[in-house]
């Protein structure tokens, strides 16, 4: 099979043996696989794949058809449309995935959308609802509202009745973010639009210190993206008097059991919204697997609304 392959800081399509599904696993014939910030970090050698994932094939999410069943795998049948997060290896023609991680693809989603759902929507849902406990009526600020996780977060929060602001660095994308239901603002002076009950940080420094000023009493900051730098200085007195919380999270390093739990939460709370069309999956561009290097460059260039997705066939 062909798979995106990282070598010496570059990503190219290369031939690999088709993997065998292990016990409880499903072999997925991948139709589409989204790109994520972690892929760029892995290409740069700064984010090695966790144990169990192929060391040189990137890709944290995929969608495709069930091609074979490993020992004891019973949740899906050959030919079912499935999608899920993986620790790596998603950007390939075939990938083995534990069946507890997989979700059925909503009928409404075509392959390019489905390939961009698992990582971004799981990350956004986990951060906003499992961690920050965002409630209807609360005021949310999403820093980096135009990206994959950002557009997912805006969509989910609007559907949950939150009042959403989103910062967007590229002014040409503000209308697109506003169309998802957020008040799109620039990064400069975002504090004046507050206070916010929840701030989802997808950019990193230089927002970090000002986030605490923009936070409401009992507010929560959740940091899940730090591409623009990660050092922050805070006055802990402000944290105390606001009775505020700052937390950080990643999805990739979690054990199977925790990843499976996030898949169950997705099935319960997110897939119905994608099925009904209440929440959409913006795809900025698709690239065939043969052009994986160009896809990475497009992702790294920024200035896109939603996902960059590789399509395999």
The binding site for its own copies (CB under 8 A) comprises 201, 204-205, 208, 223-224, 226, 230-250, 253
For its own copies, the closer of residues 14 and 254 by Cβ is 254
Q: How far apart are alpha carbons 310 and 292 in whole angstroms?
A: 7
CB 101 within 8 A of CB 156: no
For its own copies, the closer of residues 223 and 312 by Cβ is 223
Return all residues near 253 (Cβ < 8 A) that are at least 6 apart. Answer: 50
Q: How far apart are alpha carbons 57 and 55 in whole angstroms?
A: 6
CB 162 within 8 A of CB 136: yes
Query: Closest distance between its own copies and the C-beta of residue 216, in Å?
Result: 14
For its own copies, the closer of residues 77 and 238 by Cβ is 238
Query: Closest distance between its own copies and the C-beta of residue 244, in Å?
Result: 6
CB 112 within 8 A of CB 306: no
- Residue 43, token pair as written in the block: 């290409």
For its own copies, the closer of residues 161 and 229 by Cβ is 229
For its own copies, the closer of residues 66 and 244 by Cβ is 244
Return all residues near 16 (Cβ < 8 A) that are at least 6 apart. Answer: 1, 2, 3, 5, 57, 92
Query: Closest distance between its own copies and the C-beta of residue 130, in Å?
Result: 11
Query: Closest distance between its own copies and the C-beta of residue 157, in Å?
Result: 20
For its own copies, the closer of residues 243 and 268 by Cβ is 243
Q: How far apart are alpha carbons 105 and 306 in whole angstroms?
A: 19
Query: Closest distance between its own copies and the C-beta of residue 263, in Å?
Result: 18
SS3 annotation, 256-268: HHHHHHHHHHHHH
Query: Closest distance between its own copies and the C-beta of residue 61, in Å?
Result: 18
Alpha helix positions (H), 49-163: 111-114, 118-125, 148-159
């Amino acid at each position: 099979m062909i798979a995106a392959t990282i070598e010496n800081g570059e990503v190219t399509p290369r031939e690999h043996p088709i993997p065998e599904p292990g016990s409880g696993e499903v072999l997925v014939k991948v139709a589409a696989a989204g790109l994520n910030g972690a892929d760029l970090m892995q290409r740069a050698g700064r984010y090695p794949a966790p144990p169990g994932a192929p060391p040189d094939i990137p890709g944290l999410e995929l969608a495709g058809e069930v091609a074979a069943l490993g020992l004891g795998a019973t949740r899906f049948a050959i030919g079912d449309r499935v999608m899920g997060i993986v620790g790596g290896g998603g950007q390939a023609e075939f990938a083995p995935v534990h069946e507890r991680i997989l979700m059925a693809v909503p009928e409404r989603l075509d392959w390019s959308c489905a390939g961009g759902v698992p990582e971004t929507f799981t990350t956004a849902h986990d951060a906003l609802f499992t961690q920050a406990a965002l409630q209807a009526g609360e005021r949310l600020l999403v820093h980096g509202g135009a990206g994959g996780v950002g557009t997912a977060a805006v969509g989910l929060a609007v559907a949950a009745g939150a009042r959403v602001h989103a910062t967007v660095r590229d002014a040409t994308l503000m209308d697109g973010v506003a169309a998802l239901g957020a008040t799109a603002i620039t990064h400069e002076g975002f504090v004046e639009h507050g206070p916010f009950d929840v701030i989802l940080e997808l950019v990193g420094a230089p927002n970090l210190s000002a986030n605490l000023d923009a936070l409401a009493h009992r507010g929560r900051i959740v940091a899940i993206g730090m591409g623009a730098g990660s050092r922050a200085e805070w006055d802990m007195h402000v944290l105390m008097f606001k009775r505020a919380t700052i937390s950080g999270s990643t999805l990739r390093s979690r054990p199977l059991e925790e990843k499976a739990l996030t898949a169950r939460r997705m099935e319960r709370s997110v897939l119905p919204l994608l099925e009904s069309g209440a929440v959409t999956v913006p795809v900025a561009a698709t690239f065939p697997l043969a052009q994986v290097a160009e896809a990475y460059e497009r992702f790294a260039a920024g200035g896109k609304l939603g996902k960059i997705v590789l399509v395999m066939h």
